[in-house]
Structure formats: C-alpha cells, structure tokens
Amino acid sequence: MPESIVCKYGGSSITSKEDVERIKRITSENPCRKVIVVSAPGRKDKQDVKTTDMLIELAKSKSRPLLEKIVEKYSALCPGEDMGWLARKLQKRLSQPIGHAAHLDSIKAFGEEACAIVIARAMGAEYVHPKSLFLVSEDYGNANILPQSDEMIRKKLLGKAGISVVPGFYGYTKLGNIATFSRGGSDLTGAYISASLDAALYENFTDTNGIYAASPELVENPRKISVITFDEIRDLSYSGFKVFHEMAMHPVGKKRIPVHV
C-alpha cells in the first residue's frame, strides 16, 4: 500500500483564488498527498477579520449583512461561482433549535465545513464529513476526540484511491451534535488523522516559512530551526507558540510521524 501524506492548510493559507490554485498544485506534485485538512478562511491582511470570529458574532446578532460578508470570504476563493447555496445553508444552521452551547459550536464549525466543501469542489476531490471520522465529547468549545475515532478514520480513509478533503476543528457527539475543539483545533484534526493512518508525513502549511528561534514579529531575521523535537514543539505551544495547537503533537509524537512546516 502506498504511503500517505496528510496536509493541513491554516486559515491564512486559504484567502484567495490564488491560494486555492496553490493547494491544487501542491497536492498534484506528490501522489501520496491523499488527505487535505482545511481551516476556515483567515485574514487577508491585518485589517481583515477571521471567518471564525465573524461566525461567533453572527451566532449572537443573526445579522444579514454580516452573513453576506462571510459568504464573500468564500466567493473570494472561487470568483464567479454562485455561493447562494452557502448563504442558504448558513441561514438554516442559524435557525437550528438546539441548546446555546451546541448552537454556537454548530455556527463556529461552519467556517471549516464550507471551506472544505468549496475546496473539494474546486479540486474535483471528495468532501469527507467529520461525522464519519470523529466521535467527540460533549465539552462544547473544548471537545476531546474519543478513542473510537481511530477506527472510524481508518475505516473511512485508509486505502482510498482519490483525494479526500476534511474540515478541521470539530467532530460529532453521540447525540449527533457538532462540538468544536479549542481554537486552533484544525491542527488536531490533521494530527489525529495522520496518526490513525500511520501516515508517512504530516505537512502543516501556514503563513510562516518554518519555525524560528524567535517571533518574526518581534525580532528581525530570526534564525530558522531546521529540526525540533515533538516535546519542544508541545512546550512552545503551551507557552504561546501559534503554529501548532498545544495538543497536536501528542498523536503524531506517539507514532513518531515526521511533521513538516
């Protein structure tokens, strides 16, 4: 069986048509890149607002103009395509009669869900519903991935011939509700899929060119670190390092799966 590579794209790497074309090109360069995990579209610049933050505000306000601004984020990925389906889907999600915490998570997760659907369509790939991959705890906003997910992931993705696109950041509870991980949790999605599939490599594409000895925002031309341990990345993440979620190194570290940034 050919080795597989799991690729995760952060929100800052998914803001334009050019970004979508880049994802298609990177995927085509290596036939082992079988699983693509995506975050919600991020900020195009410092004045922009992340999609997830907009969705949290939308859950409170139900503002139609804000909903339209969110849809524009996806129109930027595929200019010229009708995104009316997305607006209708989000409007329906807003009207779901479920508890407050579950409702908020359902809206927050929409950013990744819509992004994965759009990217899958653009690539001619398969959108894979997280309900078939991740069974999670009912800790809304901070859900934990339950052990049953390992077999679910293997059953759904192991040995698939085509390319699969998976939304990051959330799974489903036993009651069938969406529950999100803590912020930055798309890293967890990619890491757990990598571990379950015994992937040859977990690639994390973001807006930084690797890991540095200091923050480029604070230090000019910091030294790039070419090799770092799983434990060191985990410790950095708990200390405020933003490239990886603090729990993302646990599953790949346990399986000793190499991680590239």
Going from N- to C-terminal start, the domains of the chain cover 5-260
E strands within 139-184? 164-167, 170-172, 178-180
Buried b (16+ CB within 10 A) or exposed e, 217-247: eeeeeeeeeeeeebeebbebbeeeeebbbbb
Q: What is the Cα–Cα distance from 108 to 122, expressed in whole angstroms? A: 23
Q: What is the pLDDT of residue 203?
A: 94
Across residues 34-57, what is the average pLDDT?
94
User: Is pLDDT above 70 for 22?
Assistant: yes
Give the tokens for residue 241: 């390092």
What is the pLDDT confidence band of residue 135, given thresholds at 50, 70 and 90?
Answer: very high
Across residues 84-101, what is the average pLDDT?
90
Q: What is the pLDDT of residue 171?
A: 98
What is the pLDDT confidence band of residue 174, given thresholds at 50, 70 and 90?
Answer: very high
Q: What SS3 class is residue 61?
A: helix
What is the pLDDT confidence band of residue 189, given thresholds at 50, 70 and 90?
Answer: very high
Greater model confidence, 168 or 246? 168
Q: What is the pLDDT of residue 247?
A: 77
What is the pLDDT confidence band of residue 71, given thresholds at 50, 70 and 90?
Answer: very high
Q: What is the mean pLDDT of the chain?
A: 90
Q: What is the pLDDT of residue 14?
A: 96
Q: What is the pLDDT of residue 173?
A: 98
Q: What is the pLDDT of residue 235?
A: 66
Q: What is the pLDDT of residue 88?
A: 96
How much of the chain, in percent, has pLDDT values that exceed 90? Answer: 70
User: Is pLDDT above 70 for 72?
Assistant: yes
Across residues 59-63, what is the average pLDDT?
94
What is the pLDDT confidence band of residue 1, given thresholds at 50, 70 and 90?
Answer: very low
Across residues 156-160, what is the average pLDDT?
93
Q: Which CATH number fits domain 5-260: 3.40.1160.10, 3.40.50.300, 3.30.200.20, 2.40.30.10?
A: 3.40.1160.10
